[in-house]
Structure 1
Amino acid sequence: MRIAIMGAGAVGSYYGGLLARAGHAVTLIGRAPHVAAVLRDGLRLQTLAFDESVPMHASVDPAAVAGADWVLCCVKSGDTEAAAAALRPHLAPGVLLLSLQNGMDNADRLQALLPQQRVRPVLVYAAVELAGPGHLRHHGRGELVLGAGPDSAATASLFAAAGVPVQVLPDLRAAQWSKLVVNCAYNALSAISRLPYGRMIRGPGIEATMREAVAECLAVASAEGVTLPADLWQQVRALADAMPTQQSSTAQDLARGRRSEIDQLNGWLVRRGEALGVPTPVNRTLHGLVKLLEDPPGEPPLA
């Protein structure tokens, strides 16, 4: 298979690296330092199971997607429209485009802008980071979740052959909501505190704040007509014990001086709450604090 990764950050590099290691012709499209390192030395995949360099093609030019059978879109949610515009001139009709992105509506946004392609949402559960140009570090998990459909069996089979666990669900919507709830509970607090989950959750009042954020998410989901697992809070809480050294993607973005996806996480939840008449004060506060860290207001002019 010819596979292009649009947005070769941590997630894109991890799955692109595993697919290339399994023998597929993978092209990473990403930032210049990462691309240069991959072209020179291959991608170092430092996982819990192995540590090796995987040779593959890489480019800074979106035109490198030309000829791909599959495209994995792994850009930040705020870059979805720009990515679609960059891809559009180079894709043949009918290419399978998998959205491995945080947030609730990226696949819909891609499909609206790329009507000739087959766009499918994919949920990602992987603790990964770019430790440096050309160096991917895997901290845990790595499974993907797909919705049932005409492409799901072939998609799951190809990923599974590359060592990626895949689950196919009849209805992906509840799973998307469940992941959003986890992100709303952890991402902002990890970014604000600059702490890994295990230390963060031990802070005074933090577990109670997380529980309140989750309760707001459940209220908005209920108003949306989505039924979520009764033990979802327990699942959320267990993540800190399962991945105590992990920091959120939002924390990693802020540490690198980049904009995060907080508008598509707590911010999205706040907007849906407003539309449905459900108050979300905790999520609003978390969203606002991260936005302040992303783009602090300038000093007022001197009188």
Structure 2
Amino acid sequence: MKIAVMGAGAVGCYYGGMVARAGHEVVLIGRPAHVEAVRRDGLYLDTQTFQAHVPMQASTDASGVRGAALVLCCVKSTDSESAAADMAPHLAPGAQVLSLQNGVDNAERLQALLGREVAPAVVYVATEMAGPGHVKHHGRGELVIGPSAASANLVKLFADAGVPVQVSDNVMGALWAKLILNCAYNALSAITQLPYGLLVQGQGVEDVMRDAVLECLAVAQAEGVSVPGDTWDAVQRIARTMPTQFSSTAQDLARHKRSEIDHLNGYVLRKGAARGIATPVNRVLHTLVRLLEGRPAPAEQPV
């Protein structure tokens, strides 16, 4: 099967690399330096259990999705609309699009612009780009998807590639569960530039995280969403299972890139305001990250 990865960052490269290693034809669509490295040497997939150079195609242009039976959309939530516009002219009529993105509304936004079904997937993986053509895997890697005519095939495809997939009848609840984890960790990791394991050891940090989580749960309930499982236990488990991981927001700020904070704590803030629910902790976290995003890069610092 030909599989295209739209947005070949850490998440896209990990899953694209795993399915390519299982024998599928994969094309990564990403930034020039990364594409050049992959074309030259293949993708260096640096996981907890193996290291391998995986040959695959790479392109800087969305036309790379042409002919793909499956497209993994892994762009930042801020880029969903532009990615849809870029992909639309090149998608095969029967191509399936799977959103592997943070936030809860990306599949809906993509679907509206592409005029076709887009399936959401909840992603639990700790990865980072260690350099052009080099993705480093720190832990986990499972996906949660909703039931569909294609879900059985997706489960088999990913399972054959060593990626566990769970099919859930409550995928919106699962998306919110992941959103709440992001709201608890991402901003704090970004502001402090600390990995999760060290972050939670800070005085008062767990109290702040718990308050952010309770606000998220109140908004989810008002939205009619049933969040599965023990949310606070899931939050605590992240620090144990991914102790060395920096949040994607922390990685963005370290590289002076725009983050997805508007689609994480900012999303809860907007939904809470619409429902008349106060979210002061999420407001502060969102505000601080936006302030840090506005800092000039080192080369731009005044002399």
TM-score by length of 2: 0.96
- 1:180 corresponding residue in structure 2: 179
- 1:2 corresponding residue in structure 2: 2
Percent sequence identity over aligned pairs: 63
| CA RMSD after TM alignment | 1.1
Partner SS for 1:72: strand
- 1:166 corresponding residue in structure 2: 165
Correspondences of 1:76-91 after superposition (within 5 Å): 76-91=76-91
- 1:156 corresponding residue in structure 2: 155
Mapped pair 1:113 → 2:124: no
Letter of the 1:107 partner, please give it. A
- 1:281 corresponding residue in structure 2: 280
1:224: Cα distance to partner?
Answer: 1.3
Q: Distance in 2 between matches of 1:183 and 1:175?
A: 12
1:4: Cα distance to partner?
Answer: 0.6
Mapped pair 1:70 → 2:70: yes
Correspondences of 1:128-167 after superposition (within 5 Å): 128-167=127-166
Deviations 1:262-286 (A, max 9, x none): 0000000000000111100000000
- 2:299 corresponding residue in structure 1: none
Q: Distance in 1 between matches of 2:100 and 2:227?
A: 22
- 1:268 corresponding residue in structure 2: 267
Correspondences of 1:54-65 after superposition (within 5 Å): 54-65=54-65
Q: Distance in 2 between matches of 1:33 and 1:292?
A: 29
Correspondences of 1:8-23 after superposition (within 5 Å): 8-23=8-23
Per mean C-alpha deviation after superposition, the further-off stretch among 218-227 and 14-23 is 218-227
Indicate if the aligned counterparts of 1:95 and 1:118 stay in contact, CA closer than 8 A.
no
Letter of the 2:110 partner, please give it. L
Q: Distance in 2 between matches of 1:92 and 1:182?
A: 35
Indicate if the aligned counterparts of 2:139 and 2:241 stay in contact, CA closer than 8 A.
no
Partner SS for 1:12: helix
Partner SS for 1:154: helix
Letter of the 2:213 partner, please give it. V
TM-score by length of 1: 0.96
1:118: Cα distance to partner?
Answer: 3.0
Q: Distance in 2 between matches of 1:52 and 1:296?
A: 37
1:229: Cα distance to partner?
Answer: 4.0
Q: Distance in 1 between matches of 2:237 and 2:158?
A: 27
Per mean C-alpha deviation after superposition, the further-off stretch among 234-243 and 132-141 is 234-243
Letter of the 2:153 partner, please give it. A
Partner SS for 1:220: helix
Per mean C-alpha deviation after superposition, the further-off stretch among 201-210 and 23-32 is 201-210
Partner SS for 1:5: strand
Letter of the 2:80 partner, please give it. T
Q: Distance in 1 between matches of 2:236 and 2:161?
A: 31
Deviations 1:62-119 (A, max 9, x none): 111111111110000000000000001111222100000000100001100011x331
1:171: Cα distance to partner?
Answer: 1.8
1:195: Cα distance to partner?
Answer: 0.4
Letter of the 2:123 partner, please give it. V
- 2:96 corresponding residue in structure 1: 96
Letter of the 2:53 partner, please give it. S
Indicate if the aligned counterparts of 2:174 and 2:228 stay in contact, CA closer than 8 A.
no
C-alpha distance 260-149 of structure 1, shift in aligned 2 (>3 A): same
Deviations 1:212-244 (A, max 9, x none): 000101111111122224621122122112221
Gaps of 5+ in 1: 298-303
Correspondences of 1:243-262 after superposition (within 5 Å): 243-262=242-261
Letter of the 1:287 partner, please give it. H
- 2:50 corresponding residue in structure 1: 50
Q: Distance in 2 between matches of 1:151 and 1:226?
A: 24
Would you say how many aligned residue pairs link Structure 1 and Structure 2? 296
- 1:224 corresponding residue in structure 2: 223
Q: Distance in 1 between matches of 2:181 and 2:30?
A: 27
Partner SS for 1:246: coil
Letter of the 2:281 partner, please give it. V
Mapped pair 1:213 → 2:206: no
